[in-house]
């Protein structure tokens, strides 16, 4: 993405937070059925873990919901998730985002849409990504820093801003991301206020036109 590696002291993802919980014995399930954006993503993620990735959800102890192909849609994995729900096995979701922006203004379905539907149908879901606490706490531990030292920068009010606020971090909202269309030709303060009211989330502490 053009960032120099030397700018970063640490990189923490929600998938890494789950990896650490499995490695530390805080997640018991060891036979996982992976739903991934590209073939091999699950195997690469599981390197170093005492887990087995199974080809059939009928053989799994949990579903690892880590990514979706851009053309999957909300019904692309209906059958294995229905089987998982019938077996009452949990979904481990490392990306609770319901949608994600792509080039040319396109927005695609993200794993969170499937995970929330699974939960609404009565299934058990453990969320590891924003706005849920594990990824925030994992990064605090990695940096050795308290919430008062940290700033959450993101383009999702529901996940980045709400999650950062709940974790006690300061927050900065990027207007030119997921909600870019709402700011096109509009007064940015009014557009942001309308989005916050519609989403029912806290207001960010700061706002940026775009991340550069």
Which pTM value belongs to this model? 0.78
3-state SS assignment for residue 19:
helix
- The pLDDT value recorded for residue 68 is 93
DSSP string, 115-178: HHHHHHTT--EEE-STTSHHHHHHHHHHHT--GGG-EEEES-IIIIIHHHHHHT-EEEEETTST
Q: For residue 88, what pLDDT band results from cuts at 50, 70 and 90?
A: very high
Q: Kindly state the average pLDDT of the residues 199-210.
A: 96
Neighbour count for residue 108 (Cβ, 10 Å): 15
- Nearest in space to 193 (alpha carbons), one of 212, 179, 211: 179
Least confident range from 20-34, 45-59, 128-142: namely: 128-142
- Nearest in space to 34 (alpha carbons), one of 63, 56, 72: 63
Q: Kindly state the average pLDDT of the residues 168-172.
A: 98
Q: For residue 101, what pLDDT band results from cuts at 50, 70 and 90?
A: confident
* 60-80 pLDDT tens trace: 999 999 999 988 877 889 999
Pairing of strands 107-109, 99-101: antiparallel
């Amino acid at each position: 993405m053009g960032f120099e590696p030397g700018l970063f002291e640490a990189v923490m993802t929600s998938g890494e937070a789950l990896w650490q919980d499995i490695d530390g014995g805080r997640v018991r399930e060891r036979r996982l059925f992976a739903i991934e954006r590209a073939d091999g993503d699950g195997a690469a993620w599981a390197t170093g873990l005492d887990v087995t990735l199974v080809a059939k959800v009928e053989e799994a102890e949990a579903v690892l919901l880590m990514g979706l192909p851009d053309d999957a849609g909300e019904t692309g994995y209906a059958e294995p998730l229905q089987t998982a729900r019938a077996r009452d096995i949990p979904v481990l979701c490392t990306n609770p985002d319901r949608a994600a922006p792509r080039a040319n203004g396109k927005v695609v379905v993200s794993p969170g849409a499937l995970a929330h539907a699974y939960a609404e149908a009565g299934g058990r879901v453990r969320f590891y990504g924003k706005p849920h606490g594990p990824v925030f706490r994992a990064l605090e531990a990695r940096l050795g820093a308290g919430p008062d030292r940290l700033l959450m920068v993101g383009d999702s009010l529901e996940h980045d801003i709400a999650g950062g606020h709940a974790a006690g971090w300061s927050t900065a909202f990027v207007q030119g991301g997921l909600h870019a269309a709402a700011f096109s030709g509009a007064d940015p303060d009014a557009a942001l206020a309308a989005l916050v009211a519609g989403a029912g989330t806290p207001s960010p502490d700061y706002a940026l036109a775009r991340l550069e």
